[in-house]
Amino acid sequence: MNITFIGGGNMARAIIGGLLDKGYAPDAIGVVELSPEARARLKRELRVRCFDSPAQAAPFGDLLVMAVKPQQMRAAAAQAAPNLSGQLVVSIAAGTRLTDLSRWLGGHRLLVRCMPNTPALIGAGVTAAYAAPEVSAAQRAHAAQVLEAVGMVLWVEDEGLLDPVTAVSGSGPAYVYYFIEAMQQAATELGLSPEQARTLSLQTFLGAARLAAASPEPVSVLRERVTSKGGTTEAALASMASDQVREAIVRAIRAASERGRQLGEELGKD
């Protein structure tokens, strides 16, 4: 499978690196990147074919990945449209709806929209994806093959679900970092060194997440097992309940989902 990327930023580089690790040949991958410095780096480090415009990269091969920022998608799609010849187009731009992308691509409908998250940069991401009805099962499999280069893939059957997906997993790493920051602050205020606070907080998150992923039981059960009656964990959770931390997190994710919906409308305006 020959793949062309429009945009050579961090997420595109992560996917390309994952594909190369899985045995893809560098000359089967092309990248359109406007920055001469970025093109030189891609050639030097990944040995892929690089171009300064979509027209120069055409024909695009079997699959075209639109890996530009949402604000750049309309212009990038307009440049790519004249060179499309039946390829599956995969968009990894947040907030760009398929109806708008199809319009910018001159009515092209072989489209997949997906939302990766930043752990993809180390191959530990999760990507939710939605395929337009015109996309075949084989084409979905090709898209999954590319996206699985940086982690697991979860398909949704309603494009509207990508807004809550963005709120949960797309923005989610920031919530985790926020909680880790708070844990580190508390640890240092209680007398631990910054290094000790960082190590304890990070390893606690890593270990707890790995345990939850490996367990068939709900995370609520795992939480209850750590919470002894009258113990320290119960005191901490009671304080969080009093401060309505759970409700605040739910409200925050709802706000992120709503903002995702609004951004989709704003980006699609003519």
Which tens digit of pLDDT belongs to each residue from 48-71?
Answer: 999 999 999 999 989 999 999 999
Q: Is residue 167 part of a domain?
A: no
Residues near 186 by Cβ (< 8 Å), separated by ≥ 6? none
Stated pTM of the model: 0.90
Q: Is residue 270 part of a domain?
A: no
Regarding whether 87 and 7 lie in a shared domain, the answer is: yes
In the chain, the number of structural domains is 2
Regarding whether 191 and 81 lie in a shared domain, the answer is: no
Give the C-alpha separation, 128 to 114, whole Å: 5
Regarding whether 115 and 56 lie in a shared domain, the answer is: yes
Regarding whether 191 and 154 lie in a shared domain, the answer is: no
Residue indicated by tokens 């709900």: 218
Give the C-alpha separation, 65 to 67, whole Å: 6
Regarding whether 189 and 137 lie in a shared domain, the answer is: no
Give the C-alpha separation, 112 to 4, whole Å: 15
Domain range for residue 252? 172-264
The last residue of one of the domains, among 109, 142, 162, is 162
Q: Where are the beta strands (DSSP E) in the chain?
A: 3-6, 29-32, 49-51, 63-66, 88-91, 111-115, 125-131, 151-155
Q: How far is CA 41 from CA 46, 48, 247, in A?
A: 8, 10, 45
Give the C-alpha separation, 161 to 12, whole Å: 23
The last residue of one of the domains, among 119, 137, 162, is 162
Regarding whether 198 and 89 lie in a shared domain, the answer is: no
Regarding whether 113 and 192 lie in a shared domain, the answer is: no
The total number of residues shown for the chain amounts to 270
Tens place of pLDDT per residue across the chain (270 aa): 899 999 999 999 999 999 999 999 999 999 999 999 999 999 999 999 999 999 999 999 899 999 999 999 999 999 999 999 889 999 998 889 999 999 999 999 999 999 999 999 999 999 999 999 999 999 999 999 999 999 999 999 999 999 999 999 999 999 999 999 999 999 999 999 999 999 999 999 999 999 999 999 999 999 999 999 999 999 999 999 999 999 999 999 999 999 999 988 888 887
Regarding whether 247 and 133 lie in a shared domain, the answer is: no
CATH number at 138 reads: 3.40.50.720
The last residue of one of the domains, among 108, 131, 162, is 162
Q: How far is CA 43 from CA 54, 80, 110, 199, 241, in A?
A: 17, 22, 29, 37, 53
Regarding whether 120 and 15 lie in a shared domain, the answer is: yes
Regarding whether 185 and 252 lie in a shared domain, the answer is: yes
